[in-house]
Chains A and B, each alone.
Chain A
Amino acid sequence: MDKFWHAISAQSLDDNPALQIYQTNFLAARLKALEYNFPLCKAQLGDDLFSAICKHYAHSFPSNYDSLNAYGQYFPDFLKEIIPHNPALQNTGYIAQLAELDWHLIQAYFAADDCLASMNTAEDEVTKNTYIVAPSSLGLCQITHPNLIRSMPFQTLIKEGFDESENLCANLQQDSQSTHSTLRHGPDSNFVKDIKDNEELQGHANTVYLAVVRQELRIYIHLLTKDEFSLLQLIRERTPIFKLDKLGLDPKMFSQSLNSFKQKGLVIGLKESQMQDKRDAKDDTF
């Protein structure tokens, strides 16, 4: 079986036509997964260029994932690395950031439902180990490429998000045993073709901070300030509340941000990282 595996996972085609079928399937599963997981990138790069890049990635990154939804985790970083060395990508410097957005959207789409947690824990219940829970669908990304920031489809996506139930019924053209869904955002997601300045984004001229999240059955992309972004990063890392409190953040901003996060479903409750004597942390609550 070792020999068989090495034959079907080899890059060069085997002489045996029977093994070639397995080799083709082996590669095709990964390519299909990348196609489904990075629809915006594919639309932007076109079929041929996207397919060539995906083959390169698939040969470099084996799948260690039970689900092909998780394949492509390093695709945005991979793109970042190859852009400077690839003349075909010279005019698409934003593509790695678009891939990152793609990735967060697909992860939000398939994320497990969260168990309900309460945000209303009484102050004296908060311990040194209490942390704020972020939903499993939460993705955070920064967009810095001016063309991407100024593109109309990008702005529309931020403004409207998308309803995954509509998206699923309208856009799932095929799914197979090993792959799942085609997520597309309109018939032609040519992100940098249609550029227009947007007032809402004027304060974000250099960097746009985004949070992608699923609330009910809808995917939202929220614009954040830099401070909100940093705070959400810490929350997602399960930083205990008392440590967040000691970061020197403006208490008013901290409290306003948390309220805004709650409303947008960017935080969903409080949890204890481990059982510990609550008396230890009484002075550290907020």
Chain B
Amino acid sequence: MHQALTKEARLSGVGIGLRSPHLSSLLDAENSLSQSVPWLEVLADNYLDVGGFFGAHLSALAERYPLTFHCVGMSIGATDELNLNYLSSLKKLADKHNPVWISDHLSWSNFQQERSHDLLPLCYTDRSLEQMIKQVNQVQDVLERPLMLENISAYYAHPENALDEADFIHALCDATGCFILLDLNNLYVNHKNLGYDIQSYLKKLPIERIKQLHLGGHEQRGDFLVDTHGSAICDAVWELYEHVITHFGPIPTLIEWDNNVPSFEDLMAEREKADAIIETASQSLAISNTSRRNEARMSHIHG
């Protein structure tokens, strides 16, 4: 089992996903907004075996910011064999830039030789859990790093499902030592689309394994909420975030805004909103710790 990275401490606060229109702002040392960005999430698939300007700007960013690599191409829940060429390219990129975390999704996207380029929902059964454990272990062995897996948004639940998603994740973490990237927008979307019970879901997850949160926007399409990452985060997801941060602590968080990419200033405003929630929760936590200590001291004096 792979040990958590020692660099984990480097990641805190609210990072943003790297989008090309923001590149010049992020690389501008004089830009006061970019100075407040504590870390960047990079979609690693865009940089696999790619050179030129893409390769050069990633190197420049890696010198300035701690990076996390987010992936969409492992297809880790597929019944096919893992794509070792993909993993080898990813390992090469990770060895070069040393990301704090590498994550992908609790999903599949490849079927035989074909690629969907989409994140497809898993069947939650004992058999798929067994297969997933095998694949996650294999990925962690190839990458020589622990993997973080994200819950996806879904519009369809397989009729064969026999396990609850949160139980499935818990069992997977126990068996492989992998970590969780909890996407709160996806959880909310699944609550609306598939009737997930958010509180029960959160209770079932091993909190100590949640190392990152994702926040993003969605759209209403017909009867479904579709996870588009193309708009601001909705109020309900902000409330959920506040709840999670208050109860689970200041977990490093990422603002995802991949489509209809906003101005850097608008994205940073969204980032600051999340930062303020972490700050408030940290202060409340500090106050409650202080009063708990005071109470203990008083009871010791009077005791």
Residues of A at the B interface (CB closer than 8 Å) are 1-2, 4-5, 8-9, 16-19, 21-22, 25-26, 29-30, 33, 62-69, 109-114, 136-137, 164-165, 168-169, 172-178, 180-181, 214, 217
The chain A residue with its CB closest to the CB of B45 is A67
With a CB–CB cut-off of 8 A, which chain A residues contact B261?
173-175
B24 touches A169 (CB 8 A): yes
Q: How far is the CB of B75 from chain A (nearest CB, A)?
A: 10
Q: How far is the CB of B162 from chain A (nearest CB, A)?
A: 14
Q: Does B220 contact A (CB under 8 A)?
A: no
Identify which of B78-86, B136-144, B203-211, B277-285 touches chain A: B78-86
Q: How far is the CB of A266 from chain B (nearest CB, A)?
A: 16
With a CB–CB cut-off of 8 A, which chain A residues contact B224?
17-18, 21
The chain A residue with its CB closest to the CB of B123 is A1
With a CB–CB cut-off of 8 A, which chain A residues contact B43?
177
Q: Once bound together, how far apart are the Cα atoms of A21 and B120, in whole Å?
A: 11
Contacts A63-B114, A110-B50, A178-B117; A17 near B222 (Cβ below 8 A) = yes
A–B pairs, 13, beta carbons within 8 Å: A1-B79, A1-B123, A18-B224, A22-B118, A25-B118, A63-B115, A66-B73, A110-B50, A114-B51, A168-B57, A173-B21, A174-B258, A178-B118
A169 touches B117 (CB 8 A): no
A180 touches B46 (CB 8 A): yes
**A-B Cβ contacts below 8 A, count:** 135
- From B50, B123, B223, B258, contact of A177 by CB (8 A): B258
- From B24, B51, B115, B226, contact of A21 by CB (8 A): B226
B51 touches A113 (CB 8 A): yes
Q: How far is the CB of A246 from chain B (nearest CB, A)?
A: 34
The chain A residue with its CB closest to the CB of B114 is A62
Contacts A63-B117, A64-B113, A173-B21; A21 near B221 (Cβ below 8 A) = yes
A64 touches B46 (CB 8 A): no
Mark contacts of B18-47 with chain A using CB atoms, 8 A cut-off: 1 yes-contact digit, 0 otherwise: 011101100000000000000000010110
B20 touches A168 (CB 8 A): yes
Q: Once bound together, how far apart are the Cα atoms of A174 and B257, in whole Å?
A: 10
Question: Which of under 10, 10 to 19, 20 to 34, or 35 or more describes the interface residues of B?
Answer: 35 or more
Q: Once bound together, how far apart are the Cα atoms of A137 and B260, in whole Å?
A: 31
Residues of chain B in range 109-142 having any CB-CB distance to chain A below 8 Å: 111, 113-118, 120, 123
Q: Does B54 contact A (CB under 8 A)?
A: yes
B226 touches A26 (CB 8 A): no
Q: Once bound together, how far apart are the Cα atoms of A5 and B52, in whole Å?
A: 36
A169 touches B23 (CB 8 A): yes
Q: Does B248 contact A (CB under 8 A)?
A: no
A113 touches B120 (CB 8 A): no
Contacts A164-B53, A175-B20, A177-B72; A66 near B259 (Cβ below 8 A) = no
With a CB–CB cut-off of 8 A, which chain A residues contact B120?
4-5, 8, 22
- From B23, B53, B114, B117, contact of A217 by CB (8 A): B53
The chain A residue with its CB closest to the CB of B256 is A177
Contacts A19-B156, A169-B23, A174-B261; A64 near B50 (Cβ below 8 A) = no
Q: Does B48 contact A (CB under 8 A)?
A: yes
Q: Does B55 contact A (CB under 8 A)?
A: yes
With a CB–CB cut-off of 8 A, which chain A residues contact B193?
18
With a CB–CB cut-off of 8 A, which chain B residues contact A180?
46
Q: How far is the CB of B48 from chain A (nearest CB, A)?
A: 7
Q: How far is the CB of B71 from chain A (nearest CB, A)?
A: 10
Q: Does B167 contact A (CB under 8 A)?
A: no
With a CB–CB cut-off of 8 A, which chain A residues contact B4?
none
A1 touches B111 (CB 8 A): yes
- Find the residue from A169, A172, A176, A217 having the highest chain B CB count within 10 A: A176
